[in-house]
Amino acid sequence: MSLHFILGRAGSGKTRYCLQEIRKELLAAPQGPAIILLVPEQATFQMEKALVNLPGLQGSIRCQVLSFQRLAWRVSQEVGGAARPSLSDLAKHMLLRRLLKRRAKHLKILHLGAWHQPGFIHELASTLKEFKYYCLSPSKLREAAASLDLKGTHELLAVKLHDLALIWEDMEKTLEGNTHFAEDYLEILASNLLKAPSLKEAEIWLDGFSSFTPQEYKVLEGLLKAARRVHITLCMNAQDLEASLSEGDPFYPPKETFKKLQNLAVRLNVPVEPMTVLDQGIPPRFAEVPILAWVEKNFFTPFASPWPQEVVNLKIFSSSNRRAEVETVAREILYLSRTKGYRWRDIAIMVRNLELYQSLLVNVLRDYEIPFFLDVKRPITHHPLVKLICTALETVSQNWAYEPLFRLLKTDLLPLSREEVDVLENYVLACGIQGSRWLDSQPWTYQPRWALENEKETLEINLLKNKVVALLGDFHRALRQAQSVQEITLALYELLLKLKVPEKLEEWRLKAMENGQWEEAQEHAQIWETIIEILEQLVDILGEERIDLQEYQQIIMAALEGELLGLIPQGLDQVLVISLDRSRLPEVRAAFLLGVNEGIFPARPLALGFLKDEEREYLLEKGWEVGPSSRRRLLEEQHLVYLALTRSREFLGISYALADEEGNALRPSPIIARLKALLPQLKEIPSIPEPITHPRPLLSQLAINLSKLKSGADLEPVWLEVYNWARSHPLYKEILAKIIRGLFYSNQEPPLPKDIAYALYGDPLKTTVSRLEEFKKCPFSHFLKYGLKLKERQRYQLLPPDLGEFFHTALKELAVALRKQHKDWKDLELASCQKLCQDVVEKLLPKFQNEIFFSTARYRYLTHKLIGIIQRTAAVLVEQAKWTSFRTVGSEVTFGSGETLPGLRLVLPQGELLEIYGRIDRLDAVQEGDNFWIRIIDYKSRPVNFKLVDFYWGLELQLLTYLEVVLTYGHLLLGGPCLPAAVLYFPVINPLIKLDEPPTTWEGKEEVVAELEEELIKKFKMKGLLVADLKALKLMDHHLPGPSPFLPVAFNKDGSFNSRSPVLSLEQFTLLRQYLRKLLGEIAQEILEGNIELSPYRKGSYIPCKYCPYQPVCGFDPLLPGNRYRFLPELKIPELWEAISYHLESDKALKR
């Protein structure tokens, strides 16, 4: 038994010394006692590679490179106990969540609901793990809590220790006899070391450690007792070893370790051999670059003399932001590779906070085609298999709700194509299908549209539905019957096998390998075993525990969120990207240290776990060491700075950013100022883009220079050469073409070829007036909606157009019911009218959108409002009918081929035909002599006014188009010539009236009630255009020439029409008809000529884009070149008539 220290500063050759000594032993006695080289877990691969590359060694069974954990497994195999499983972090998270819920009433602080918060369980598990590392136990925590003042300043600390001890005891009782904590492997190892025959006479070498936990010290104690010799390297100077420790010393952690090991040897009566000190002049690592040796020796030395010579092989880069910082490093790596002959494996990138740089490093290094290995574990929560597990459980727990079910179907792990899933999803959304409807054995007969229009069963949808139910039905039934963790887990496992998940993952792995996506291939290879391990541990720990599905989801989600996958390098020649605090720092030829900013490196230590720094310090003073405080970790941070500055043997690059991603200023780390003080001639290199380093960034810079052409600048000759090179290069000419298209992109669409326009819209062009209005709003919107037939996904909800359709149908059904009873509106009494309305609405409700009105409480309440609106509207219609000679000729009068009236046909200027079809909500007429006055009424679900200026611009053509159809073909229906009496909008509403006194005071005040009825009727006053013929208007409303509650007309004292009355002479109606035909023909001609411009109108402050569903498609932006609104000015009435007359006269002149 003996202890041997090998001391030396960085680069002095400590690792080389160990390897050479081991080599001598192996060459001298290949079959001798065991030699074990203990290194940190992350360094085992590097050290094994270094060992087998030693000259004269082809391999050895005598020497093994092990970590503490692997040594524990090896010893357990030798002495027994390896079969007992350990509790992984995942299992610990599951168990903790369960115990916290069970113990809620007994906990004093951990019961407050925080354990539901993300990260809480992980934090609690980390605290208990730390306690394990420091050889604490529940009894020791209770002892520590008992020693505190429960009513003083440390009451909260005592409560924390009480709760932690209680949960810890519960965990140990749950695991007793079955398994043990993963952190216990060191405790078990320490107790088994003296029992292991292979360790007797063994030589133990430890390299790469700067400090140890109390558990590891126990193992070292056992090794000192069991082994023949223990050699340990420590990175520190060998001076002043007897002096007290100084917190400013970068070697504080290894020196502290040195003293503890010395004391341990004294306590065990283990002789300490003479130390091997390797600090002899310039360390071998820096022999060829003295400046790096100077930095190593003097960086932490106060009052060190500055480096007097020129600075070479050390650079400081300042960059405008972190992306520019990474790009600078990438260019330097290419420079070293191309001009200095560096291999990728000779270079390392070191970062203190990898989260800040990970995505940037991945993207930039790929752009520069630099192979790299990112030494970091990946979370698994993004993987489709994890999403499948979570959504499958959620689907059952939420009774087949839409959201979790379709997230499950979109994992691509079910035998449904994405197209099939989309078809099914659209149908389900439109019909509002969820819950028990999925498990109904009857075929679905729901229709996305009105059941009145289409009741045909969709075979394809039912086939897909049956496929989904066949895949998930057994799982659903099993979970409904499952009561324990084991039963739920078994059902989940059987689902994964039924879906053939292992085969699918293997298929994905092979495909990823074919595409060179090595990391993705590794994820697919590892994820199945990881998931199976989680499920097995669930059963091992909580197997017979009765649990509901929601709690099971919480437990497994906590487990999945905490799991990480470790990947191995896919090649030997790669740049190594490491996090300074998580990875073994290898010796390399060139090292780049990124993110050397204040607060980032050295990092500001943050309090870890449930104990604050002051609580840790207080417990340490009382003799209870519970883990390092922030102060202690700051000392370790200093040592980390030392290690980072001494990793490279030829070149060191240090960089920092001046701003973060949001533009906030960043300050350089004190490391930068210290280096500048030591190296006065060190010039900071600003990050200036050097594009001609690699084709991809070169093309990015080319794009920037080409963009200057748009402002009239000339292209420099060098960029012209780059352009010509890229245009002729087989790999980059397509990228250049995309750049050109992007730079000179104009957000406009050229006209469609005529043959395509005819194919889309037809010849003759058969359309509706609303489609023509849509074209005048924006030609591109018309093209998307009616040419490409793009439409928004239908959802199971009521929108304003749906209510409008309901009102139209209800009023039509009322009219049909009256005709069947051979009655007119005026014949109805109020009570019978209300009863008829209620009957009609109740008959329609079940047929509307798959019974949507019965789907929720909100919609059920809406039915009462709908009945009220229809009843109020019908009451007004009854009142109007009593005061008019006009009678309804038809409700929802259709016109078009084979309809009640022919469609409106026009011959276009170039000979094409236009046929307009549609439906008139209501047509009223009255006969006067041989002629029929006609009135067009269009129902609206809100008050709407007709604006002549909107008709002029082609935005409101509906009423006058309906009028034109009836004036042209009405004789076929009425048997005589027709004259225009009115075109009107009728509001289908249930208005509110502001009361001056409550209804309870109305008794005996019939005049008040009558006034309110009159006021209500006025709210239904129709808006539109009327004929300037008093006789015809009297036939329309017998109140005239008095005030009319129904029509928008008023008279002056002399009997003439008020100037605000929208009345037109028959001649003016004729002008509007002529202008209408001109407008319709022009619009149709533009459609057939393929006009699909992005040119929405703007009228005042209104723009149709605000409510347009196609904004994501068109990308219209008035700031883009070519995107401009069509400004439509407001015109006064005289200006409108002048403009209409001018256009008509111009047409006549052209035809002459």
Binding residues: 778, 1105, 1108, 1114
Half-sphere exposure of 336 (CA within 13 A, CB side): 26
CB-CB contact of 66 with 38 (8 Å)? yes
Compute the distance between CA of residue 123 and CA of residue 130 in angstroms, rounded to an integer.
11
Compute the distance between CA of residue 1039 and CA of residue 1033 in angstroms, rounded to an integer.
10
CB-CB contact of 780 with 1114 (8 Å)? yes
Other CB atoms within 10 A of residue 627 CB:
21
* C-alpha separations of 472 from 484, 893, 900, 976 in Å: 20, 50, 52, 67
Annotated binding site for [4Fe-4S] cluster: 778, 1105, 1108, 1114
Phi, psi angles (nearest 5°) of residue 940: -130, 145
Compute the distance between CA of residue 937 and CA of residue 825 in angstroms, rounded to an integer.
15
Q: Which helix (H) or strand (E) holds 982?
A: strand 978-987
Q: Which helix (H) or strand (E) holds 64?
A: strand 63-66
Tokens of 1150: 């052209």
Compute the distance between CA of residue 758 and CA of residue 760 in angstroms, rounded to an integer.
5
Tokens of 1138: 């002048």
Q: For residue 686, is it left (φ>0), alpha (ψ between -120 and 50) or beta? A: beta
Other CB atoms within 10 A of residue 481 CB:
9
Sign of the dihedral through C-alpha 919, 922, 927, 931: negative
Sign of the dihedral through C-alpha 737, 743, 745, 747: positive
Q: Residue ranges of the alpha helices (H) in 398-500?
A: 402-409, 418-431, 436-439, 459-481, 485-498
Q: How many residues does the chain have?
A: 1152
CB-CB contact of 1084 with 906 (8 Å)? yes
DSSP for 95-122, please give it: HHHHHHHHTGGG-SSTTSSGGGSTTHHH
Q: Give the distance from CA 824 to its chain's centroid.
A: 60
Tell me how many helices (H) and strands (E) the chain has: 41, 28
* C-alpha separations of 118 from 35, 114, 136, 557, 1047 in Å: 45, 9, 27, 10, 65
Compute the distance between CA of residue 314 and CA of residue 706 in angstroms, rounded to an integer.
36
Compute the distance between CA of residue 213 and CA of residue 893 in angstroms, rounded to an integer.
89
* C-alpha separations of 661 from 38, 360, 664, 665, 1129 in Å: 42, 11, 7, 10, 45
Coil, strand or helix at 698: helix
Contacts of 738 (CB under 8 A, 6+ apart): none
B/e letters for 948-985, b = 16+ CB within 10 Å, e = fewer, are: bbbbbbbbbbbbbbbbbbbbbbbeebbeeebbbbbbbb
Q: Per the omega criterion (within 30 degrees of 0), is the bond before 628 cis?
A: no
Half-sphere exposure of 559 (CA within 13 A, CB side): 28
Q: Tokens 């407050």 appear where?
A: 112
Coil, strand or helix at 44: helix
| 730, amino acid identity | P
